[in-house]
Amino acid sequence: MVFSSLLFIFGFLPIFLGLYYMTPVRWRNITALVGSCFFYAWGAPQFIFVLCVSSIIDYVLSRIIHKTHRKKVFLIISLVLNIGLLGYFKYANFFVGEFNDLLGLFGFTGAHWTYIALPIGISFFTFQKISYLVDVYRGTTTPARNVFDFLLYVVLFPQLIAGPIVRYHDVAEQLKTRVHSLEKIFEGIYRFCVGLGKKVLIANVMGSVADSIFDLTGSPDMTLSFAWVGIIAYALQIYFDFAGYSDMAIGLGKMMGFDFLENFNAPYISQTITEFWRRWHISLSQFMREYIYIPLGGNRVSSRRTYINMLIIFFISGLWHGAAWTFIVWGVYHGIFICIDKMFWGSISKKLPKIINIGITFFIVLVGWIFFRSETFAQAGYYLQAMFSLASSTTDVLWVDVIGNRGWLVFALGLFFSFIPGFKLYEWVVGKLKTSQQGFFRICIKACTAGLLLALSVLSLANASFNPFIYFRF
């Protein structure tokens, strides 16, 4: 069950919220827990047991870590269990396949292996549990007051499947008591509808365009113009898909009284790759920094070691995104440009016009997305060749067959909404709306916007079958 489905919007969500608000306040955590388990079991019934049992074990270990003098020993045990579980489900197929291919090169028969299915959202909830265990070890937070609170923290359905990665100390008090109000529910509905519009009205359309063009990779029909439009369409798809999901998660949280931190902040207006990672998937960047980069020494070590730490972080980030060499290359690619920023580009970019910096950074990000989107290095190579080839083509494929009039309109809107936050006019308008004393006027604008986006999204969902979430497979 995905947020951008009619079943969720008109089935699960109203029933769940009705039951949630009919439940006495002191029992609402239990209602939320049961509803979240049902939500996860709907899409992955065979894995709900793995999720709950592993979470209970983590809760027990956290209590031991908090009380024992041998904290590090039990922290290591907990990390081995969590990383081992993630490694088995997410990377076993990849490493066994690579091992069998290596054996094949020497004429040996590969090991027999039964393909392992991937639990939905395992990358997200594993990192979330690790952050909790490390925070307990550091004394940043105390263990959850009971196992039900901890289970709710892990399986709370708005952020369970695709983030954002919520740190326990950010919601610890909210698990005990939180504000339920009409204002918060309204803000949650508005935020959910904005995210739904991003996903359904922009990401889905751009995804269809990107898939159509990537399918031409390696064929004579792939032209330079197709290649550029295709990768920009994919950049718009992955941004509005993931940012839309995060908006919906934040909105659903507000409907239940929770406040989650932001996960995206107009990443395509970044002037350096370093800034891009402060704006893109913020919760993952914070996790990598706090729980891996700083323990490795961060920037408190020599310059050489700092660069190595950065490359390690982005190697892990690439591997976290997917069990494929293309993801690893994508991660290291970004790590290299982060190092370049620190070496010299960060200071040079300050002397250049903002629009030049944005253009250069967006170009670097686009090239990286090719590896992220491609299934093989061969496909990535062919696509890069098409992007920079000036050879003429006699393709019979027409623009209207690949994109269509609606595709061009959404393409333009996607670019507009991606880059408009970089202009002063946008900042001025947003500032005026935030400081406006006409509260009723703001409410009316938000209500009309939410209603329009919801209506258009529902109409689109009723007539379309293309509705994947990119980050569900992570």
In the set 66, 69, 281, 321, the catalytic residue is 321
3-state per-residue secondary structure call for the chain: CCCCCHHHHHHHHHHHHHHHHHCCHHHHHHHHHHHHHHHHHHHCHHHHHHHHHHHHHHHHHHHHHHHCCCHHHHHHHHHHHHHHHHHHHHHHHHHHHHHHHHHHHCCCCCCCCCCCCCCCCHHHHHHHHHHHHHHHHHCCCCCCCCHHHHHHHHHCHHHHCCCCCCCHHHHHHHHHCCCCCHHHHHHHHHHHHHHHHHHHHHHHHHHHHHHHHHCCCCCCCCCHHHHHHHHHHHHHHHHHHHHHHHHHHHHHHHHCCCCCCCCCCCHHHCCCHHHHHHHCCHHHHHHHHHHHHCCCCCCCCCHHHHHHHHHHHHHHHHHHHCCCHHHHHHHHHHHHHHHHHHHHHHHHHCCCCHHHHHHHHHHHHHHHHHHHHCCCHHHHHHHHHHHHCCCCCCCCCCHHHHCHHHHHHHHHHHHHHHHHHHCHHHHHHHHHHHHCCCHHHHHHHHHHHHHHHHHHHHHHHHCCCCCCCHHHHC
In this structure, the number of other CB atoms found within 10 A of the CB of residue 451 comes to 13
471 neighbors 162 (Cβ within 8 angstroms): yes
193 neighbors 449 (Cβ within 8 angstroms): yes
321 part of the active site: yes
The Cα–Cα gap between 438 and 209 comes to 41
Q: Which residues belong to the active site?
A: 321
